[in-house]
Each structure stands twice: as structure tokens, then as C-alpha cells.
Structure 1
């Protein structure tokens, strides 16, 4: 019987331009770490949170890690005692799936501690419960790719239907995280409740084109399909320099650029990593001109999702 397990869950890009609320993928560059330790008494405790700036809740009913594990234990049918230690590798309110990574890492660690009674895909509903507790909405476009790896399509929620898509060889991601926080609630508040039929048709065509481009490894088709007419036009105004950065990245070789999740992080896809240095320089110059710092990350697409780092008996 294992005494403790530590797991890692990667950051994610959700929406992926045209795939609003239905597409996502993880990156290798960064993520969250959770260690779960068995305790003699039943019940969960959050015993440590590092690198969150003192912002995350320690209460079991509010903490994303604990909410996810509690949902899993209710399905498991036994109340097992566990201590939870979280180390944040992702900034809060960044649009990189911060709450999702915490929940997924906690579930992978706790599941292994119990002897892996759940298949990987069966952990997803518990992660969605945690996302709803953290963000007010149980979306899967961050938790699913963080858990499963690769490009993931959320086809439906009732019942939950999640599909792993092909990842083309050589597809690379650059993340730009400008130094300001954008709340998910603010990003949601600017969206429209209804969209014109014309925009629905355009968006559907782009989603179909993007998925086809992945399977055909057609980078030009991927590039043409990275157009969002539903959310991006309204959210872009919340992110300083958005259009200037997009044009500069395209000129530097990016296939396309979009908002990661609800922002403010931006993501760009490229064929290979050769263009990343020029893309980073172009973005940094624009942000410097508007008085904002920016962190730049380069990464291949993570194809394995979350994984166990360490086990102790």
C-alpha cells in the first residue's frame, strides 16, 4: 500500500480560436504539482499550498484539488483519509487552465494512491465538478486535455462525449503571458447570448477545417481555419496590443494566434520551432511599447496528459 503519490498536470490552451468551449490541448512547458498522502483518519485536508501568492482557498469544500478528490471518493464508495499538498506552476487568472491542472494532478495522484480503481477517462467527470466549483461553469476544454493529452474535442456534455484528435508531427505552440490578470467572469461577461446565422456557419466551417487539418497534417489548412468570429472579437478588446501582436506573429511565421482560454494569455501555433525566437522578439517589442511585461513559453504539444512523478511506500 502506497503512502504518498506526487503527480504533474500540464497547462492547457482552451478554445483554440474557432473551437470555443469545445477544443483544447496541453503543453509541455509548465503545469501544477500535487502530492497526496494517506492519513489514518477518514477525510481530506489541504496541508500545503505553495506559489499561489496566498490567493487559493484551503477549505476542502472550496479548494479545487479537494473538491475533485471528494467527488472521486464518493463514486469510489469509501471515505479514505488524504492530505493534499499543492504547488502551483501556473499563474492564476492566466488563461492557461490553472484550476484545471490542480484538479487533474490531484485526481491522478489520488487515483494511483488507491491502486488506480478508475480508468483515466473515468476521472474526467470529477475534474469537471472541480472546475464548476472554481469557475462557476463545468467546462471540460481545459480538464480533458490536461488529463488525456493531445488535441481534445468536447462533442457533447449530455452525455459526456470527449474525443482525442490527431496531433500533427512538428506542430509547435508559443504562449505569451502579459503581466496582468483577466478574470474569467469579465471575459464571459462581454460575450453575446446569441450569434448571427452567418457567424455560426463561418465558425462551423473553421472547426471542421481545423480538425481536418490536424488529421491531414495540412498546416496551411490549420492556419486558414484559426479564425474565431464568436468570442475573440469581443474578448480581444480586453487584452492590450492583441491585434498588433497577432499581425507581428503572423509576419514572423506563426500559423495563427488566438486567446488561450479566457485570456489574457495568447497562443500561437507554428510549423516547427524555428520561428519561435522571431515570434517572441516581435511580441516583446510590442508589449514593451505599451508598457507591459510578458513571459514567453515555447512547447511541443503534450500528447500524454497528466502523469505520476513519484510514489512512496
Structure 2
């Protein structure tokens, strides 16, 4: 085996009330990375497709290379590898673009080396790449992209990641307005302190959402998709956010929130039947304000990242 190609799915992080601690994977789209062995030691990023020439080739800046190097450093191994990245996710979209690249690279490289790490053991290396990409090594994108399903990050010290139950029939519609929102800008508007009142409300909604997942109570899931910590500030950066939220709920969505740091929004629904109406409602809002919007419908991805091909 000289080469392995892997896929990692898009993700929704935060999931409204679960700021920095909840995320889930999406079936609709993701990134592919092929990793090939080479004779000379060291990593090299050979090609990047689908990024409009914006992503770095430097090993210390590219999330694929940073993640693989972190894994090799942990193993204390010197290996030569070529990296070929094919982006299926738009940059700065709030769909976990940098996380998907890092995760796909790790899954491919891990298989190429004989799988010295279990899937969950790859998380710290993916988080190292997220730190380079976003300035913080959060796991709410990389964990669901790697493991699939809904994931709770209970703690970081030590890392404690828990997979949650996903009710059958839970679907997601992603709505991506045609503009880019930098993660740094989304984080800059957040407040350093949270009131006791808002902390209590947020805790209740996180608990309600998790209970709703396990009890397969879709109405409870919908009631719990309320964020009083990040959304009130980040929504001001997304034109048409509140109008879209009202419109998609009127079209049958359980609830709507910001995917990651935005500008993509996610709407959860029971089954796929309401998705066309949700998409039409969002398109009408954005047509009225002169912006385009891309829409993707998907079930929750249970599988996570996986190997596509070995050569």
C-alpha cells in the first residue's frame, strides 16, 4: 500500500445552545485527502483543488500537514508523505472546512501507517490543526467530522468526548448565504463574561437538547435550540438572519441556528419532507435583500470520516 484516499464530512458546531461543546456531522458534503508515501522523509503538500488558490502549501500552515505532523511527532517517526487535498467545502462557511481537511488527512495517513491509532485517538492531532487554522484548538468540528453523529465535548483537560444518540429521521438543512464571515470576526463580537441568568438558561437548553436526542422527542429538540450567549451577537453579522429564522420555522423547521461561527445557518427537521419548504422560505428572504443563498439537505452523518481507496 503506497497511497490512501479518505473523506471527512462537513459539520455543524455549537448547535445553538452548545457553544464550543456540541457538534454533529452532515452527509451532504465534505473534503477528500489522498496521502502518498515518498522516499524522502518529510511532508509536502503537492496539490490543492477547490480553494480558488487561497489555502497555503507551507507545511506549518496547511491543516492537513499540521495534523499529520502532530501524529508523526507523537509516534517519534520520520516518514515521507505527499498530500493531495480536494476541497468540497467553501472556505469561511461555518461548515467545519478546516476540520474536514485535517480529519481526512489523518484518517488517510493513519491507514497508510497501519492504523497505529484508533479513530478517537486522532482527535488531539486534528485539534492541533484547528489551532493553526482558527487560533484555538476546539473539538466541536473535528470530533463529529471524525466520529460521526452528535458529539459532546464534556471537557478538554483531559479531553472527554462523548457520542450522543441520534434519533432516526432527524434531518438538517444548511443555508449558506453568498458572503464570507471570518471566524476571527465572529469571535471578536462575543462577550468575555456571561450573566448567571443567561448561564442558567443556556444550561437548561443544552440539557434539554441532549435529553431530546436520547428520548427522540423532536419537539423538545426544537424548544432547546435557543442560544442566549453567542447568537445574539453573531446574528448581527449575518444579514437576514432573524427573518430567515422566522420564515423556516413557519415552514416546518424544529428550529434554526448559526452553524459554527457562520455565516451558514442550520435548520433541523423531523424527516426530509419539510426541507423543500424550508429552502424556499430562506430563498425568498435572501432574494428580498439581494443576496443569493446555497441550500443543502442532509440526514445526520453517523459514519464520520472513512477511507475511500487504498492503492
- The TM-score by the shorter chain falls in which range? over 0.9
The Cα shift of 1:21 comes to 0.4
Q: Aligned ranges for residues 112-191 of structure 1 at < 5 Å?
A: 112-191=111-190
Deviation at residue 75 of structure 1 after TM alignment: 1.1
Q: Match for residue 214 of structure 2? A: 215
- Residue number in structure 2 paired with 1:81: 80
Runs of 4+ aligned structure 1 residues displaced above 6 Å come to none
Give RMSD over aligned pairs: 0.4
1:210 is paired with a residue whose SS is: helix
Taking the aligned partners of 2:17 and 2:60, their CA distance within structure 1 comes to 34
- Paired position in structure 2 for 1:252: 251
1:189-268 pair list within 5 angstroms? 189-268=188-267
Superposition deviation, residue 192 in structure 1: 0.3
Q: What residue in structure 1 maps to residue 45 of structure 2?
A: 46
Supply the distance in 2 between the matched residues of 1:219 and 1:294 (Cα, whole angstroms). 27
CA distance in 1, matches of 2:278, 2:136: 34
Distance in structure 2 (CA, Å) of the matches to 1:223 and 1:96: 21
How far 1:257 sits from its partner (Å)? 0.1
Structure 1: runs of 5 or more not aligned? none
**Aligned-partner Cα distance in 2 for 1:80–1:26:** 31
- Other-structure match for 1:273: 272
* Structure 2 residue matching 1:33: 3-state secondary structure: strand
Structure 2: distance between partners of 1:75 and 1:41 = 20
Task: Note the C-alpha offset of 1:79.
Answer: 1.0
Structure 2 CA distance for aligned equivalents of residues 46 and 180 of structure 1: 28
What residue number does 1:288 align with?
A: 287
Give the superposition deviation at 1:140.
0.3
TM-score (norm 2): 1.00
> In the comparison of the two structures, how many residue pairs are matched?
311
Q: TM-score, normalised by structure 1?
A: 0.99
- Whole-angstrom CA distance in 1 between matches of 2:233 and 2:133: 23
2:212 and 2:227 mapped to 1: Cα distance? 16
Aligned residue for 1:308? 307
Shift of residue 76, structure 1, vs aligned partner: 1.6
Q: Deviations 1:232-286 (Å, cap 9, x if unpaired)?
A: 0000010000000000100000000000000000000000000000110010011
